[in-house]
Amino acid sequence: MRADEAEEFAAFVRARSASLHRTALLLTGGRHAADDLVQGALERACRHWSKARRADSPEAYVRRILVNLANDRWRGLRRRPVEVPLAEDRPSGEDPYGRVAERDQLMRRLHALPIQMRTVLVLRYFDDMPDEGIADLLGVTPSTVRSQASRALAKLRAPVGRTDPGQGADHARI
Amino acid sequence: MPESDAFERELSLAMAEYADSVPAPVYHPGDFLAAPRRARARWALAAVAAGVVASGAVLLAGGGGGRGSGPAVTPTPSSTAAPSASPTPKATPAPSTSSGAAATDPYTARTLAARALVVAAEQQEHAALRGRVPLPAVEALFSSHAAFTAGWGSGGLGVTCGQVADGAAGVDPSAIQLYRGASLLGGVVTVTFDPATARITGVSCGSGQGGYSDKTLSGYLGNLVQGRTAAAGQWLAAGQKGLSACRSTAPTIWYADDPASGTLTSGWKVVVDGGAPLEIGENDHSKIFDITCAAP
């Protein structure tokens, strides 16, 4: 990598890695998995930086890497025994008013969604990406994004208690 | 505010709260800028590991060959820093149990051992390639003679679930899918591995087809091994010449592993006829757009 490219990449890492980590945390549901995901995405971005920097948006390029890696991880994990995140691997906190508990439940249900639905919701409601942008990133049509989002929201709104305890994060199937 | 909007707003807030609840670690750019050098070294390191796991591993996994998939060669023992290019197969020494393989990434060692085993089995099952398989090297991949006998089975068929396979895709060592032509066969191979000794302890066949399968990969390579060049060509992106750039266009067997996706593409490491691994890249349109003759 040329010196100017290295400097660009370094600036990108310094500026955007925290944002990528937040997205990764939502995609994976665990801080250690998110750490690994961002690490892997930045490694790949570095290897392909000459291509990434020519993209319309290097961040979108790297975000796509991140999403693809999350998919790869999910493909691998769904064949392995059920993993229950350790308590310390999940954000925690006291909730005197019940709101945090409700949101925690909402996040648990988010992480029980199939990875593609989860990704659509994270990109739409956390990263504020338009459906067209999500479609471009995922390689699907905007109507597929809307359909996935609609189905995902319906699943999140569905009554609690029908979830198979074995179908936790990263174990649901599309 | 409509109920749906309220729910979506709550979801957005919940996500923001969740994401902010864990501080992001500090990533140092310098660590990544050094990474490509490590990545390039990965295959060499893995090859050494395979050579330590069993000196036949590199041979069986495609460490020899290079262009043209010539006769397989046996690497030198574990003290060697790189696979030997000796054209003459040698007697296979017993692998060292106190090898560096156990200290190497166990996932890589396991992947290479599984690759070596399945490629050997596929070669054994095809008369044209059978002579390339040194059985002592295959046996050395296993933890014991009993494990080898049970896992290898008759003519390597134990590794391919009792079926003759001319293709396989190691989604991971726990899920190796089998193909005949472009058709996915029933049965998923699992290679169990002892990371402490870096040996295979068993081979088992499960039911089903291993979940996710890559139709582009099997469509191209599966048709190619059956001589259906035109059908195979349909999986190539415009202008892509396919295997002709680095291998015979009439291969007999293939094995793919190390699936990865990271940019606009996804890819596999592929061993064809026991040669050196190459890398196949697929684009978003499920077409093979890139074949790198020597996998990085």
Tokens of B231: 């059908």
- Using a CB-CB cut-off of 8 Å, the residues of chain B touching A107 are 14-15, 18
In this structure, the dihedral spanned by the alpha carbons of residues B163, B168, B172 and B176, taken in order and rounded to 10 degrees, is -10
CA distance linking residue B113 with residue B119, whole number of Å: 10
pLDDT at B128: 87
Q: What is the DSSP string of B36-84?
A: HHHHHHHHHHHHHHHHHH-TTHHHHHTSS--TT--S--PPP-TTSSS--
Sequence-ordered list of residues with C-beta below 8 angstroms from that of A28, at least 6 positions apart, any chain: A34, A37, A70, A73, A111, A169, A170
Domain limits of chain B?
Answer: 37-292
CB distance B280 to B256 below 8 Å: yes
- Using a CB-CB cut-off of 8 Å, the residues of chain A touching B211 are 75, 78-79
Name the percent of chain B lying above pLDDT 90: 34
Half-sphere exposure (CA, 13 Å, Cβ side) for B86? 15
The chain A residue lying nearest B14, using CA atoms, is A103
CA distance linking residue A79 with residue A82, whole number of Å: 9
Half-sphere exposure (CA, 13 Å, Cβ side) for B295? 28
Query: How much is the average pLDDT of B26-46?
Result: 55
Domain limits of chain A?
Answer: 3-79+98-157
CB distance B228 to B193 below 8 Å: no
Q: Which residues pair with B270 in a beta bridge?
A: B256, B278
> What are the pLDDT digits (tens) for B82-92?
333 333 333 33
Sequence-ordered list of residues with C-beta below 8 angstroms from that of B168, at least 6 positions apart, any chain: B118, B122, B160, B176, B177, B178, B179, B189, B254, B255, B256
Query: How much is the average pLDDT of B162-186?
Result: 90
pLDDT at B114: 93
Max intra-chain CA distance, chain A:
55
Q: Cα angle at A170 between A165 and A171, to 5 degrees? A: 50
- Using a CB-CB cut-off of 8 Å, the residues of chain A touching B174 are 79-80
- Using a CB-CB cut-off of 8 Å, the residues of chain A touching B264 are 64
> Considering only A55-59, B59-63, B88-92, which range has the smallest mean pLDDT?
B88-92
Max intra-chain CA distance, chain B:
78
> What are the pLDDT digits (tens) for B13-22?
999 988 888 8
Q: Identify which of A9-18, A158-167, B62-71 has the greatest average pLDDT.
A: A9-18
Query: How much is the average pLDDT of B269-273?
Result: 91
Tell me the shortest Cα–Cα distance from B9 to chain A, in angstroms.
8
Tokens of B238: 């415009």
For residue B104, give the nearest of B46, B34, B57 by alpha carbon.
Answer: B46
**pLDDT band per the 50, 70, 90 thresholds, residue A74:** low
Tell me the shortest Cα–Cα distance from A32 to chain B, in angstroms.
10
Q: Identify which of A9-18, A36-45, B21-30, B160-169 has the greatest average pLDDT.
A: B160-169
The chain A residue lying nearest B259, using CA atoms, is A72
**pLDDT band per the 50, 70, 90 thresholds, residue B211:** low
For residue B82, give the nearest of B115, B50, B109, B40 by alpha carbon.
Answer: B50
Q: Cα angle at B279 between B171 and B43, to 5 degrees? A: 85
Q: What is the DSSP string of A93-145?
A: ---TTSHHHHHHHHHHHHHTS-HHHHHHHIIIIIS---HHHHHHHHTS-HHHH
> Considering only A13-27, A71-85, A154-168, which range has the smallest mean pLDDT?
A71-85
For residue B15, give the nearest of A77, A73, A153 by alpha carbon.
Answer: A153
- Check CB contact under 8 Å for A44 and B262: yes
The chain B residue lying nearest A52, using CA atoms, is B263
For residue A68, give the nearest of B260, B214, B39, B210 by alpha carbon.
Answer: B260
What class, spelled out in words, does domain A3-79+98-157 have in CATH? mainly alpha
In this structure, the dihedral spanned by the alpha carbons of residues A86, A89, A92 and A98, taken in order and rounded to 10 degrees, is -60
How far from chain centre, in Å, is Cα B69? 17
